[in-house]
Amino acid sequence: MKRFAAPIIFLALLSAPSVRAEDVFDRLWRATLDRSPGMKAESAEVEAAENARANADRHWLPRLGLLANAVSTNSPTTTLFSTLGSRSLQASDLSPGAMNEPGRQWFKNGNLTLDLPLFEGGARVAASRGAELMQRSHETARDAKRNELFAGTVRAYAGLLAMNEERTMLDSLRTKLRGVIGRYRVGSKNNPVGHSGLLGMRALLNRIESALDANGVEKEAELEALRVRSDLRDLSEKDFPGGEAIRFARGKLETKSGEGADLRAAAERSAALAMTEYAKAERARWLPRVGLFASEGLVAGPRDTGTSTEYGAYLQWQLFDGANLGAYREASLRARAMEARVDEMNENTRIGRAVSERSLPVSLANLERIEDSLRLTAEQTEATENLFRNGSVNALQFSEVLARRADLIQAKREIEKSVLNTLVESYLMNRGQDEAAR
């Protein structure tokens, strides 16, 4: 049993940083998602759209209204008809004197109305379909926003992994270079070759120092951005172990080409279809409306209280309204404009997919070559350092080897940036395996 213990412990130690990276990222992602003002805004938009759709779906229900008032009047007309409505009209009320000078009286009126539309030209049906499509648009936009937030968090986290790896390698190179410069004894101006080598190493050291400063500024800015977005103030550099940045990002973002539609375009598409339905609703304004109505009235006067009931059918037809003359054309043009924007987004998505299908494999292959070159230059650096110590190569030659390694370290970081950006765009264009929805 003991002979298996060492390999098991070794494997556990190897896997520990990866597990920790996953744990830190999961905590970071959940905190970012819960706090995101953008996600809260999208969720509120979805809830508002759900309410709008529920309201629009109730278009077939009858409309009920109540009108009530109390009035003190000495108007002959109002007094006569209110007395008639209260069913308390007397013969003396019809005398010229009583009709012309009725005196001031109080009347209370109430009217309960019921309107049941049977046909409205399809306006409310179209508005209901439009509300349903707008709800779908907002739901898709919320999912797209969540995907963007997720992909951005992955890119930031993986970027910090890459920056820490770059810093570790540059710091190691700086330490080695400082040691060589500190031990170098033939760099006086009387020895042109030695002095030239010393100048080259000092210039390289300055370059590495500048690269480390830039790395530190960029890393701290990215780290602070993550702290703000997640409200995790305890995030620190130790939460981002260097290395495996691209493997981590690919595990989260890599999708099959053409696996799904771009959610951003899908949201716009639903909104464009909704605008088409709203355009139909505007056109229906010019069609006749047919319905049933009923009314229950009450008039209370000084003498008595009377009630009345009316019901029937109606036809309403808007023949002219200057304010709505161009409403249908306006809505149609807006729908057409949105459809054109959707076509543009789909076209850009197709182009982006084609570019990423070609560029991503090339970038990954270049990254592998650079990583292999870094391994080779590490061996070359050790070998050249030994040759430098025994005098087989001069300082200038040694500094050139170190400079090539510094070039490769920085080139690797640039390619990693490019790969991360491509992975993010490919993820958003293809939707793919939506980790954000989990």
Mean pLDDT of 351-355: 88
Concatenated DSSP letters for 28-79?
HHHHHHHH-HHHHHHHHHHHHHHHHHHHHHTTTSPEEEEEEEEEEE--HHHH
Higher pLDDT, 257 or 414: 414
At 221-249, the pLDDT tens digits run: 999 999 999 999 988 888 887 778 999 99
**What is the chain's mean pLDDT, rounded?**
87
At 60-98, the pLDDT tens digits run: 899 999 999 999 999 999 998 988 888 888 888 888 888
pLDDT above 60 (res 11): no
Instruction: Report the range of poorest mean pLDDT among 97-101, 226-230, 339-343.
Output: 97-101
**Nearest CA-CA partner of 212 in 248, 170, 265, 151:** 170
Higher pLDDT, 356 or 412: 412
Higher pLDDT, 120 or 323: 120
**Nearest CA-CA partner of 83 in 74, 93, 92:** 93
Concatenated DSSP letters for 174-188?
HHHHHHHHHH----S
At 396-436, the pLDDT tens digits run: 888 899 999 999 999 999 999 999 999 998 888 886 434 44
At 112-127, the pLDDT tens digits run: 999 999 998 888 899 9
Residues in the chain, total: 438
What is the pLDDT, as a whole number, of residue 83? 87
At 358-385, the pLDDT tens digits run: 999 999 999 999 999 999 999 999 999 8
Round to whole Å and give the CA distance between 278 and 18: 52
191: confidence class by pLDDT, cuts 50, 70, 90: low
What is the pLDDT, as a whole number, of residue 86? 87
Residues pairing with 308 in the sheet: 297
- Taken in order of first residue, the domains within the chain and their CATH numbers are 19-64+119-289+327-437 (1.20.1600.10)
Amino acid identity of 363? S
Mean pLDDT of 254-283: 82
